Amino acid sequence: MALKRNGIEGPIAESQAVIMKRASSILKEVFGYDSFRPFQREVIDNVLSRRDTLAVLPTGAGKSLCYQIPALVFEKLSVVVSPLIALMNDQVQQLRAAGVPAVMLNSSLSPQEYQRNIDALQKGDARILYVAPETLLSPRVTDLLASLPLDLLTIDEAHCISDWGHDFRPEYRQIAAVRRRFPRAVCLALTATATERVRHDILTALGLDEAAQFVAGFDRPNLFIEVLPKQNALTQTLRFLEERRDQAGIIYCFSRRQVDDLAAALVQKGFSARPYHAGLGDAERAANQEAFLRDDIQIIVATIAFGMGINKPNVRFVIHYDLPKSIEGYYQEIGRAGRDGLPSHCLLLYSYGDVAKLRHFIDQKEEDERLVALEHLDALVRFAEQHAGCRRIPLLRYFGEEPTSTRCDRCDNCTSPTATLVDMTENAQKLLSCVKRTGERFGAGHVIDVLRGSKNEKVLRNRHQDLSTYGIGTNLTAIQWNHVARQLVRHGYLVQEGEFRTLRLSDLAIRSLRERAPITLEAMPQGEAPVRRSPSTLASGMDETLFGLLRQRRKELADAAGIPPYIVFSDRTLVEMASALPQSDEELLSISGVGQVKLERYGEEFLGVIRDYVKGR
């Protein structure tokens, strides 16, 4: 027997097979998907069996459905703890568009909206409540929840619990006390980025001693990963953007000033861009984010304050204009690209100067916090400085996953043409000799300063102007010397060590200097390193003109409803429409992302565009 509530059935003493059949029906009828993605079924099955669960699924793997579907199967309320207001608003809008009654409680609501949502909860008119952690901890909300039957407590972005996580939030630690007040509710912790140490922290902090763990692969195969030496960052960025004028993307910068300067420079060059950082007024920041979500602008230039939980599926690129602080942060930020599964490009501009800048800020921290931050940064530097071999290998191994292949063909290293080796003996010997003369105690930047005859304070303080290698390297620019240094590391002549990436000579270098053996390295790049072209985002057989018409209609409908376009349909759904050319309701329902409610709400609008286009061809 089953009850109906708000048109969605719930179980009474049903078998697990029957319950999972209902979950599959909800997947299709409400959300418009024919089948579960990897690990979704297992996580949902575990939650519906009322077993506490920790799920680590990559961004874009459909984590939200892991609690949304159980929430529609369970009879009682489901609560989702979410760290950002933007994320809550986004999820509530998407659920309501699919016909699911959902509400949120946070500081962004007016008193009237707040009370209206509380009334909906008390009347049983909402199936899912999104709440900020600080709101959850308030006596008013804990007392409210104590008066309501609760089936599921979901902790989204659960890595925020761990001080080893890249985005630690102290208030997340207090969620465990709230959870103890609802022992009958099953608990689901979700995150996209968690090393084994962070997973242990999550389980311990929440008291999930017997929780099942589901850790999916961390690879995002649709993301092309590229690291370029930062030479002229603005020029490199402009060249990258010129090929992508019709695409949405995020550019991350280290400082607020850099964000403002770069956004202004892009606007001056004719790009549709706005800044986002904590120094902007609340209204301006919210307006800029909303413009990006609604496709009114193409580019958001931001500090890391932007993007956590933003579910804009059609972000086609992420540029790190400056170095992120950790691999977790990097992985989280590139995860904002390609959430619809279509090919997207992730570009990191890397320089020793950025490393030094981050180390300076880390040095201001307390000792324990400083050591954690240094460990995170060193792992990222090793990833960025890997000039041979697939970039996915160190990235995946960092999260405890052993790669299944030595080549991905979706990163710069795997797709680089075989390098041309040239005789670089003279310049290599100059640099190796300078490393030795300076005592093998400095990084590449200082060694290059000595070679080029710099009179900066560090050179003079160490009396390195008196060395025989001082000033013998004016034949090359600093960028070219950096290329030589990287090649000497890559080919085993130099070893980078320690907190400050100091250089020392390897046994191979010592032998080469002693025997005056020739040294061949990759040829010096001519001009700035080229940015690679993004893979095509178009599906085979898709009609590009029709795709553009469908996007235009989607934008009109979204603007009229006051919602972001992707809440109507994702790019992936429009790609399928422009490939399959559905002509009826039944055919449109077979498109991924088209559920019953969206068919009724938008079906005729999109079928009309497709029919008119097919007639006019």
What Rg do the C-alpha atoms of the chain give, in angstroms? Answer: 27
Shared-domain flag, residues 126 and 268: no
Q: Which pLDDT score is estimated for 310?
A: 66
Average pLDDT score, the chain: 87
Confidence of residue 166 (pLDDT cuts 50, 70, 90): low
**Cβ(55)–Cβ(26) below 8 Å:** no
Shared-domain flag, residues 277 and 425: no
Shared-domain flag, residues 150 and 35: yes
pTM of the model: 0.75
Q: What percent of the chain has pLDDT over 90?
A: 53
In our burial notation (b when 16+ CB lie closer than 10 A, e otherwise), range 540-577 reads: eebbeebbebbbebbbebbeeeebbbbbbbbbbbbbbb
Q: Which two tokens stand for residue 451?
A: 């070679």
Report whether pLDDT(284) > 80: yes
> For residue 379, which phi and psi values (nearest 5 degrees)?
-65, -40
Q: For residue 534, is it within any domain?
A: no
Q: CATH number, domain at 115?
A: 3.40.50.300
Shared-domain flag, residues 248 and 279: yes
Shared-domain flag, residues 26 and 169: yes
Q: Which ranges in 526-590 belong to alpha helices (H)?
A: 544-561, 565-568, 571-580, 585-589
Shared-domain flag, residues 176 and 322: no
In the listed set 391, 415, 439, which residue is the last one of a domain according to the structure? 415
Sign, Cα dihedral of 408, 377, 192, 236: negative
Q: What would the pLDDT profile of 223-232 be if each residue is shown by its tens digit?
A: 999 999 888 8
Single out the residue of 82, 86, 77, 59 nearest to residue 221, CA to CA: 59
Shared-domain flag, residues 263 and 355: yes
What type of residue is 82? S
Confidence of residue 1 (pLDDT cuts 50, 70, 90): very low
Q: For residue 269, is it within any domain?
A: yes
Q: From CA 358, how far away is CA 412, in angstroms rounded? A: 25
Tokens 């071999």 map to which residue?
Answer: 389
Report whether pLDDT(320) > 90: yes
Q: What is the mean pLDDT of residues 313-330?
A: 92
Q: Identify any residues that bridge with 301 across adjacent strands, giving them in sequence order.
A: 251, 275
Shared-domain flag, residues 43 and 160: yes
E strand intervals along 66-180: 77-81, 102-105, 128-131, 150-155
Tokens 């979901």 map to which residue?
Answer: 154
Report whether pLDDT(124) > 80: yes
- The packing angle between helices 111-123 and 139-146, to 10°, is 20
Number of domains in the chain: 4
Confidence of residue 245 (pLDDT cuts 50, 70, 90): confident
Q: From CA 552, how far away is CA 558, in angstroms rounded? A: 10
Confidence of residue 534 (pLDDT cuts 50, 70, 90): low
271: CB partners within 8 A, 6+ apart: 241, 245, 298, 299
Q: How many Cβ atoms from other residues are within 10 Å of residue 581's Cβ?
A: 14
Shared-domain flag, residues 35 and 176: yes
Q: CATH number, domain at 567?
A: 1.10.150.80
Q: For residue 348, is it within any domain?
A: yes
**How distant, in Å, are the alpha carbons of 30, 92, 156, 223, 612 from that of 592?**
12, 20, 25, 21, 22
**Cβ(534)–Cβ(242) below 8 Å:** no
**Cβ(120)–Cβ(103) below 8 Å:** yes
What type of residue is 61? A
558: CB partners within 8 A, 6+ apart: 294, 564, 565, 567, 568
Q: From CA 284, how far away is CA 212, in angstroms rounded? A: 43
Q: For residue 531, is it within any domain?
A: no
Report whether pLDDT(6) > 50: no
Confidence of residue 463 (pLDDT cuts 50, 70, 90): very high
Q: What is the mean pLDDT of residues 416-428?
A: 84
Q: Which pLDDT score is estimated for 339?
A: 87
Q: Which pLDDT score is estimated for 15?
A: 82
Sign, Cα dihedral of 214, 216, 218, 224: negative
Q: What is the DSSP string of 17-69?
A: HHHHHHHHHHHHHTT--SSPPTTHHHHHHHHHTT--EEEE--TTS-TTHHHHH
Q: How many Cβ atoms from other residues are within 10 Å of residue 35's Cβ?
A: 10
Q: Which pLDDT score is estimated for 7?
A: 37
Q: For residue 462, is it within any domain?
A: yes
Q: What would the pLDDT profile of 350-402 be if each residue is shown by its tens digit?
A: 987 888 888 888 888 888 788 888 888 888 988 888 777 899 998 988 888 88
From 165-179, 232-246, 287-301, 409-423, the region with the lowest mean pLDDT = 165-179
Shared-domain flag, residues 472 and 582: no
Q: For residue 537, is it within any domain?
A: no
240: CB partners within 8 A, 6+ apart: 317, 319, 347, 531
Shared-domain flag, residues 206 and 231: no
Q: For residue 533, is it within any domain?
A: no
Shared-domain flag, residues 264 and 177: no
Q: Which pLDDT score is estimated for 197?
A: 84
**How distant, in Å, are the alpha carbons of 345, 403, 407, 580 from that of 390?**
16, 10, 5, 36
Q: What is the mean pLDDT of residues 418-428?
A: 85
Q: What is the DSSP letter of 316?
A: E
Q: What is the DSSP letter of 255?
A: S
Q: CATH number, domain at 482?
A: 1.10.10.10
Q: For residue 378, is it within any domain?
A: yes
What type of residue is 439? G
- CA 610-615-617 angle, 5° bins: 95
What type of residue is 91? Q
Residue 258 is part of which domain span? 223-415
**Cβ(574)–Cβ(515) below 8 Å:** no
In the listed set 185, 215, 245, which residue is the last one of a domain according to the structure? 215
In the listed set 455, 488, 522, which residue is the last one of a domain according to the structure? 522
Q: What is the mean pLDDT of residues 115-139?
A: 92
